[in-house]
């Protein structure tokens, strides 16, 4: 079995892990667009990340010995390192949610995510776990692409959390093909790839709906029809965040799909520059107040 085609990661894209050490001090309750639904949708996603990304790492690790190309081995190491860092930073983010008063939701959500992931580890073959990783990596990459393509989304995030989502989105795009390439190499089944994407979308969709609702309920926002309608429109309306990922989502169904057929390397390069500008700004402020 071999890769579906010759598309490769652009040379200028490097997959380099970076520990950020965020603290999220001063994050307001509705940190995204001051919108409870958008904020809690992203909060619910964050609850899945620490355990979810450890699952991805293990699924890829299980097959890394089959890769002989040193360049690909380097990509896999970069992927493992980046996902490990995402797990750590989202752990801190989830603790921040607990300290905002969402302890029950944050703990319950992470517990359920861990349970579902452990079931996946027990019930799925190693090949199916790799297929699930490739599918969920596709979903995270297209969400990341949307976040970076619509600058107003990041601009409307509170500065205390903006860097986390910016940094995570950039890295999801940088390593978007690592699990996919490995899957194509060692499994390659089109049917399994598509079936798993549909199952993974259903599972993630149900989970995030459940926990977005749990967070909203905690605030009493579930009884505010206008808040709910506005938030749902922002996610699923004509120009909704999720609606606009649809063309990218279905591209995965093409038999000759490859993540780098969409070359968004210029997009992440531009955002990398913004991220380091922000880091320098913070270092300068820290020096000035020291």
- Answer yes or no whether residue 234 interacts with Fe ion by CB under 5 A: no
Q: Which is nearer to Fe ion, 86 or 258 (CB)?
A: 86
Say how many residues touch Fe ion, by CB under 5 A. 4
CB of 6 to Fe ion, least distance (A): 23
Structure tokens at 267: 């997009």
CB 7 within 8 A of CB 261: yes
Residue 224 — left, alpha, or beta (φ > 0 → left; ψ -120 to 50 → alpha)?
beta
48-56, 118-126, 198-206, 217-225 -> range binding Fe ion (CB under 5 A): 48-56
Numbers of helices and strands, H then E, in the chain:
11, 0
Coil, strand or helix at 3: coil
86-94, 104-112, 203-211, 224-232 -> range binding Fe ion (CB under 5 A): 86-94
Please give the biggest Cα pair distance in the chain.
58
From CA 139, how far away is CA 249, in angstroms rounded? Answer: 7
CB of 147 to Fe ion, least distance (A): 13
From CA 214, how far away is CA 162, in angstroms rounded? Answer: 23
Alpha carbons within 13 angstroms on the beta-carbon side of residue 59 total 34
CB of 162 to Fe ion, least distance (A): 17
- Answer yes or no whether residue 86 interacts with Fe ion by CB under 5 A: yes
CB neighbours of residue 161 within 10 Å: 21
CB of 164 to Fe ion, least distance (A): 11
CB of 99 to Fe ion, least distance (A): 23
25-33, 85-93, 153-161, 194-202 -> range binding Fe ion (CB under 5 A): 85-93
Q: Which is nearer to Fe ion, 51 or 53 (CB)?
A: 53
Residues that bind Fe ion (CB under 5 A): 53, 86, 137, 172
């Amino acid at each position: 079995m071999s890769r579906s085609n010759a598309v490769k990661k652009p040379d200028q894209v490097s997959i380099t892990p970076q520990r950020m050490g965020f603290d999220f001090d001063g994050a307001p309750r509705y940190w995204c667009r001051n919108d409870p639904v958008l904020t809690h949708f992203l909060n619910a996603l964050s609850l899945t990340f620490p355990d979810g990304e450890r699952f991805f790492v293990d699924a890829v690790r299980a097959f890394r010995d089959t890769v002989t190309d040193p360049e690909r081995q380097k990509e896999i190491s970069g992927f493992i390192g980046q996902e490990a860092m995402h797990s750590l930073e989202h752990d801190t983010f989830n603790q921040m949610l607990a300290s905002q008063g969402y302890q029950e939701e944050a703990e319950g959500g992470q517990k359920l995510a861990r349970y579902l992931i452990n079931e996946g580890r027990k019930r799925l073959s190693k090949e199916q776990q790799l297929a699930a990783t490739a599918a969920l990596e596709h979903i995270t990459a297209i969400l990341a692409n949307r976040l970076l393509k619509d600058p107003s989304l990041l601009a409307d995030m509170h500065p205390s959390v903006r860097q986390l989502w910016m940094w995570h989105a950039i890295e999801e795009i940088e390593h978007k093909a690592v699990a996919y390439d490995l899957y194509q190499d060692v499994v390659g089944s089109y049917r399994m790839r598509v079936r798993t994407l549909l199952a993974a979308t259903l599972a993630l969709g149900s989970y995030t709906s459940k926990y977005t609702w749990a967070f909203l309920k905690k605030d009493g926002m579930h009884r505010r029809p206008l808040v709910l309608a506005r938030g749902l429109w922002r996610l699923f309306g004509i120009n909704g965040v999720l609606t606009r990922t649809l063309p990218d989502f279905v591209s995965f169904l093409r038999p000759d799909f490859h993540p780098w057929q969409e070359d968004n390397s210029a997009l992440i390069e531009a955002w990398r520059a913004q991220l380091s500008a922000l880091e320098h700004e913070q270092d300068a402020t820290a020096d000035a107040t020291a």
